[in-house]
Amino acid sequence: MRSSRKYVAVAAAAAAALALAACGSSGSSSGGNSASGKITLTWWSNANANPLLGVFGKLMKEYHASHPNVSFSYVPIQNESYDTKIQVALQGNNPPDIFFQRGGGYMATQLKSGKLENLTPYVSSWISELGAEAAAWQINGGQYGIPYDLHSVGFWYRKDLFAKAGITSPPATMPELDSDITKLKAAHIVPIAVGSKDQWPDAFYYDYFAVRECSIPTLKSAIKTVSASNPCFLKAGNDVKAFMATNPFQPAFLNTPAQVGAGSSAGMVASGKAAMELQGDWDPSVMEALVPKSQWNADINDIGWFPFPAVPGAPGNSQALLGGGDGNSCSTGAPEPACADFLEYLETASAQKLLVATADVGLPANPAASSALTLPAEQTILAATKQTPYIQEYFDLAWPTNVGSALDAAVANMFANKATPQDIVSAINQAAAQQ
């Protein structure tokens, strides 16, 4: 996931957020109709720090003002603890009414609990407004989650460091990227920062090489069948190995976190200690939270973005992107249509603009809110998402949870020189066999 991970970087005390739990309500901690017709929707989310925490609070209060019978009990949960807690809750008898959702195989794994509400009857009249991306939150035609933002991964780069190294334009192909890495090294600049301590940033490289090496039909088939048996997945691993042989990363990258502290990979780019980072569209907001602007030696508008370069001769589509999104689901015990109606409210243009402009969630799920994107680089990403024929959801979320975890671990081992490209394929397929 990737935008939700940014809140690890800006983690703050969430005690103040507990005031949101009242939100005009008292009594039951789970959804339901009382004798007076009043409803309390319990909402679990990994948004445990501002600005998103505050924006969610504002949206709950606004909704309550126009729907006085609906109140909220909001439970902020630290991101790294969230997955375990929601899994336990869905296996129990009292899951939250609304809960943070990542979609894809992650959602499909949760569906096995029997506790995810099929929202199709409640959203069919408007869900098409979100476009094709809403399909990533469907299982067998049923809408089990609603995204409130969308994400695309690409390279964030320092324009000033590129200029210092004599690079006049972002690379469009892998040979061009390799050449730029050489130029940056010659200028004594770390070419690329990576937060390998967290593993998932490593997987971005394998995922993107797979997107370049595999055709779109092959990618779709691999997700559906939960298999990495097509030779293009082995080729992707070999591409990663060849790329790492150019030594593009900072020293001690295996011990570098992605988004925690000024010494993280995001912090290195913000402070000018590295020229690039392969990350999601949320990266600038992470940088601003980690490094004071006085230490940037650059303006936020001088941070550029370019898509993962094409691999010459590879059968994958060179304009395909890697991405995902954040959203919510309703549990089967949630009062309807109140739960689904609130999720629809989060998709309104006004709510979406607030989420984008104030909470820095990334790209809006509702295209009607695109005007809220203000950075030139954000508009570049938006244009890329409009032009792409396909967005591949991060493999560790598109596949079932255990398969995604096996992928992340295997790729991390290869980054640490403890695994081979074949080991990655084997790990994926062995985990898939256990489904």
Give 251-286 pLDDT, tens digit per residue: 999 999 998 888 999 999 999 999 999 999 888 878
How far is the first Cα of the chain from the last one, in angstroms, to the nearest whole number?
22
Let me know whether 207 and 275 are in one domain.
Answer: yes
pTM of the model: 0.83
Q: Output the pLDDT for position 201.
A: 95
What pLDDT is attached to residue 35?
Answer: 42
Q: What are phi and psi of 307, to 5 degrees?
A: -70, 160
Question: Where does 245-394 have alpha helices with state H?
Answer: 265-270, 283-290, 338-345, 349-357, 376-387
Residues 76/14, Cβ–Cβ less than 8 Å: yes
Among 105-109, 172-176, 321-325, top mean pLDDT goes to 172-176
Same domain, 347 and 279: no
pLDDT digits (tens, 9 = 90+) for 291-308: 777 776 666 778 899 999
Q: Are the CB atoms for 427 and 237 separated by under 8 Å?
A: no
Q: Same domain, yes or no, for 213 and 314?
A: yes
Domain hosting residue 226, numbered range:
152-322+392-432
Per-residue confidence at 184, pLDDT binned at 50, 70, 90? very high
Report the distance separating Cα 236 and Cα 231, nearest Å. 9
Whether 175 and 212 map to the same domain: the answer is: yes
Query: Cβ-count burial of 337 within 10 angstroms (0-12 exposed, 13-18 middle, 19+ buried)?
Result: middle
* Whether pLDDT at 20 is above 70: no
Query: For residues 255 and 412, is the Cβ–Cβ distance under 8 A?
Result: no
Instruction: State both tokens at 77.
Output: 């949960």
The answer to whether residue 216 sits within a structural domain is yes
Q: How many domains does the chain have?
A: 2
Predicted local confidence at residue 22, as pLDDT: 45
Looking at the structure, tell me whether residues 124 and 70 fall in a common domain: yes
Q: Where are any strands of DSSP class E within 162-320? A: 190-192, 274-280, 303-306
Residues 147 and 212 in one domain: no
For residue 210, is it within any domain?
yes
Q: What is the CA radius of gyration of the chain?
A: 21
What's the CATH number where 10 sits? 3.40.190.10
What digits encode the pLDDT tens for the residues 42-89? 999 999 888 899 999 999 999 999 999 999 999 999 877 898 999 999
